[in-house]
Amino acid sequence: MALLETVHADRLAKIERLKEAGMEAYPARTRRTHSVEQFLENHAVLEKNSEEVMLVGRVMSIREHGGSLFVDIFDGMKGQCYVQRDKLGESSYNLFVDTVDVGDILEFSGLAFNTKRGMPSLDVTGWRMLAKSLRPLPDEWFGIKDEDERFRRRYIDILLTKDLAERIKRRSKFWNTIRTYLLERDFVEVETPVLETTTGGAEARPFVTHHNALDMDVYLRISAGELWQKRLMIAGLPKTFEIGRIFRNEGMSAEHAQDYTQVEFYEAFKDYEAGMEMIVDLYRSIADEVYGTRKFSIKGVEVDLDTEWKRYDFCALMQKEYGLDPLDESADWKAVLTGRHISFEETADIGRLVDTAWKQIRKTLAGPGFLVNVPVYLEPLAKKSVKDSRIVERFQVMIAGSEIGKGFSELNDPVDQAERFKRQQELRDAGDEEAQMPDAEFVEALEYGMPPAFGFGVSERLFDFFENVSIREGQIFPLLRPR
């Protein structure tokens, strides 16, 4: 700490030295003519025409060479500037040596040339400080090793770790690929409320906050507008989607965060069978556009999206593993879980017990594939199967032992929906904080008539899986406790 305070004081003194020389430490404007990338792309022409160039960037290294300096700068791409005493003049060169540190952001003017080793560079004829750094950068080659510090000073971690900056670009391309895919198929992008009086569209514990103007408690949404987008179908918009932030006040893990980005889309007059075909095409399109491959290594599992996607029968898998039929609501799942030494809440209903048992099987499914034939009691918003009213027309995408996206034929029967909500309320009354809140106004909307439809949602977990990183690593600025 004492060393950092000394460096801080020394750099503040350098700002005073700059002021004495008539140079601002933090000017508002720059005269940049080219980015480093543009400079390198057009270097031969710039050199031939002896055209003056203005480059800006953060100083990443300074190397002395026979009374001159080689300075590496970075503006998203690294470039080299050659600083010579005789080109700058004694006073300007000395000011540079006395006041410039690695980490400072500078403007350089000069001419394009190649060094003796053939490195395209800028032969500097002038310089100006744009932002004086008061803290030293960690060594570029070693960076920040402590994970908490990496997340806390993510801006430095990104600056010093090239792949993190590239991951941010891939993250942007990931979401824009999904957006473009849907827009090209005539979906309308919408924005739905983030603050809700009842949460819907998922089973999760919400965050609660207070709305001062209306003097009432509200919830941060737990889905990307599912019930709102269904209202829009009732209103006559047959294809909508939203990419937005959702919030769930639950535990943290390598796959779970409390706030994250999700896309949800809904298309009228399509069912979950047609939806599965669409999702295979969507995931392959994302892989092609963002990564240029359909083969991934995820958590030690080799996944090839180009293969034929499997169908996993939920009930068949559960019966094979545990000897109980999930459709038999009288089955003693507590005894099975106890015998397997799998922990569960004593007050858990059949839905929670079966889901706990399912999570043990899920880990074994490499995918890619679709999990189908799930009992009605596990999904309050999906339409019942025409083949068996005890199951719903729902699928979940299975990749590397995890669920990476969920879609279903949407329930549009208001009477059935009201009954499902009633069961969810009974679970809430029994203490299940993750059970869905009944939404009487949504049921009222359904009574006006909603067309049959397919709906789907997937979170940034898909991006993290493609990157083979945890959700915290995949987020740009993950949530941290304050120091």
Residue 275's pLDDT is what?
96
Q: How many CA atoms lie within 13 A of 403 on its CB side?
A: 19
Mean pLDDT of 30-40: 97
- Can you list the domains of the chain with their CATH numbers? 2-137 (2.40.50.140), 158-309+367-474 (3.30.930.10)
Work out the pLDDT band at 430, boundaries 50, 70, 90: confident
pLDDT, tens only, 185-199? 999 999 999 999 988
pLDDT, tens only, 179-228? 999 999 999 999 999 999 988 777 788 999 999 999 999 999 998 899 99
With 0-12 CB in 10 A as exposed, 13-18 as middle and 19+ as buried, what is 341?
Answer: exposed
Judged against a pLDDT cut of 80, whether residue 285 lies above it is answered with yes
At position 426, the amino acid (one-letter code) is E
Judged against a pLDDT cut of 80, whether residue 416 lies above it is answered with yes
∠280-284-290 over CA atoms, to 5°?
Answer: 145
Judged against a pLDDT cut of 90, whether residue 376 lies above it is answered with yes
Judged against a pLDDT cut of 70, whether residue 424 lies above it is answered with yes
Mean pLDDT of 407-435: 88
Judged against a pLDDT cut of 90, whether residue 236 lies above it is answered with yes
Mean pLDDT of 295-312: 96
In degrees and rounded to multiples of 5, residue 154 shows phi and psi of: -60, -35
Work out the pLDDT band at 423, boundaries 50, 70, 90: confident
Distance from the Cα of residue 44 to its chain's centroid: 40
For 391-409, b where at least 16 C-beta lie within 10 A, e where not — what string? bbbbbbbbbbbbbbbbbbb
